Structure 1
Amino acid sequence: MQHENSLTRRAAAYGVHFFTASGIIPAALAVREIGSPQCDPRIVFLWLLLATVIDAFDGPLARKYHVKRFAPNIDGRTIDDLIDYLTFAFIPLLLTWRMEWLPPGTGWTVMLAMAASLLGFAHVHAKDEQRGFFRGFPSYWNAFALYAGVFSSLYSPWLTAITMWGLTVLTVMPVWVIYPNLAPQRWRIWILGGAALWTLTLIAILWQYPRPSTGLLLISLAYPAFYTYASWYCRRYGSES
């Protein structure tokens, strides 16, 4: 009975690794759409959304099923980082370049953001899991890319470029952004619940993409503002938060 129980736990742990690795499927389909002659960015964003959902659940599952103990031959963190870099950084930035959402002659600067994200992912203190923070802007380029199409269509490609360049600098700066799944208990329900509502507003924006109503756009920006404030507050006040 004990042997069977051990086999079950090992199977569950390796199953979590396969679940994490399944993020490569929406990543590949997103790249396929980017390379199509008539690229529809909404389809790319939906594939990236699926990859984000997988990423949101694999961490808690890995901790629940103790993958480091029962599936030690595979480093789930390496799989997670590789797929996260593709789906949170490389692919959305590639889409931004492909759709020409930056001013003429500046599209190549997405490579600076890609490089900054590489450095961010590779930094030894990229994740402070004990305190629950990311170091630097945590390469949420998938969200940036969605707003890039809106900013460039409604306002100016220069707004997109300036935002991207600023986030590129923040990616390698010693600033700290809260890790949603590891946020202090007091904040976690607001951060995770707000993220769910924010996702719904982004889906609503896709329905009107790339020219949503001003009201919907402003509502969608409320959560990033709250998330930024929560990160600052929790980092400053620590356990008091």
Structure 2
Amino acid sequence: MLPLRLSDIAAASVHLFTALGAVCGLFAALAAFDGAWERMFIWLGVALVIDGIDGTFARMAHVEERLPRFSGERLDLVVDYVTYVFVPALALLRAGFLTGTWGLVIAALILLSSLYHFSDLASKGEDYSFIGFPAIWNVVAFYVFVLSPPAWLTYTILLALVVLTFVPMPWVHPMRVKRLRTLTLAVTAAWAIAAIAAVWSGFPAPVWTQVVLVAAALYLCGLTVERVLQGRWDD
């Protein structure tokens, strides 16, 4: 038996750290069944943070070299599907934003379209942009809870995003975009502050957080639309 090296333990610990996102998803689902929406989004937020930093740890620990048999990318996809897709769809149903037969249909479309995105080998561009709507249904659900839009608008937006999953347009990654990087990072930071304040205050969120969150969404969507219109696919 080969001796267990400290570097191998470190690499395995990174995989464990990634896997904790699934545990966050479980706690978030339990909160959804309890109707504890703020607690649910706290757990989804923790999962989002884990997803945002585990790649850095993986590179530091040389996980692919130390544990070549285990795919961190596959593990990440499984965890992301739970926290980015399944729990948010469940929450929209449990909270009454999706109701009746049409509500179930839209929830099913969210699950199915996201499976297409997660299994698409060309879902990411060379500049780390997402090709097609990136299945960030946790963020979409958060906006629905924050803004509480009328049902017709909620259904329209959700259906539009399902369709956009299959449209090969590049959606910018706010942490990877090069053009207007400083401004984009500032907008992302403002979004994070407003999101935390919204969860802290409870739903429906205070008006100022709604304004900041909508402005940030419009800015990031604007970057995506601008790139499509001007044909910039690599900045």
Q: TM-score, normalised by structure 2?
A: 0.87
Q: Does 1:45 align with 2:41?
A: yes
Give 1:81's aligned amino acid: L
Match of 1:164 in 2: 158
Q: Does 1:144 align with 2:140?
A: yes
Q: Does 1:16 align with 2:52?
A: no
- Which residue of 223, 229, 237 maps to 2:222? 229
C-alpha distance in structure 2 between counterparts of 1:146 and 1:133, whole Å: 22
C-alpha distance in structure 2 between counterparts of 1:143 and 1:216, whole Å: 14
C-alpha distance in structure 2 between counterparts of 1:187 and 1:62, whole Å: 28
- Work out the number of aligned pairs and report it: 231
Match of 1:111 in 2: 108
Aligned-residue offset at 1:132: 1.4
Cα deviation 1:110-138 (Å, max 9, x = unaligned): 1111110110111111122x321111111
C-alpha distance in structure 2 between counterparts of 1:192 and 1:55, whole Å: 18
Aligned-residue offset at 1:151: 3.7
Distance 1:198 1:176, change over 3 A: same
1:40-189 aligned within 5 A: 40-102=36-98, 104-108=100-104, 109-128=106-125, 130-152=126-148, 155-184=149-178, 187-189=180-182
Aligned-residue offset at 1:223: 1.4
Task: Name which of structure 1's ranges 158-167 and 224-233 shifts more when overlaid on structure 2.
Answer: 224-233
CA contact (8 A) 1:102 1:158 kept: no
CA contact (8 A) 1:103 1:157 kept: no
Q: Does 1:218 align with 2:206?
A: no
C-alpha distance in structure 2 between counterparts of 1:20 and 1:187, whole Å: 30
C-alpha distance in structure 1 between counterparts of 2:65 and 2:185, whole Å: 28
Give 1:35's aligned amino acid: F
Aligned-residue offset at 1:9: 3.0
Distance 1:182 1:192, change over 3 A: same
Task: Name which of structure 1's ranges 206-215 and 114-123 shifts more when overlaid on structure 2.
Answer: 206-215
Q: TM-score, normalised by structure 1?
A: 0.85
CA contact (8 A) 1:136 1:172 kept: yes
Give 1:148's aligned amino acid: V
Task: Name which of structure 1's ranges 82-91 and 64-73 shifts more when overlaid on structure 2.
Answer: 64-73
C-alpha distance in structure 2 between counterparts of 1:63 and 1:180, whole Å: 20
C-alpha distance in structure 1 between counterparts of 2:58 and 2:186, whole Å: 21
CA contact (8 A) 2:130 2:173 kept: yes
Give 2:197's aligned amino acid: A
Give 1:47's aligned amino acid: W
Aligned-residue offset at 1:46: 0.6
Cα deviation 1:111-170 (Å, max 9, x = unaligned): 111110110111111122x32111111111111112212443xx4122111111111111
Identity of aligned residues (%): 29
Aligned-residue offset at 1:13: 2.0
C-alpha distance in structure 1 between counterparts of 2:218 and 2:203, whole Å: 21
CA contact (8 A) 2:190 2:212 kept: no
Give 1:202's aligned amino acid: A
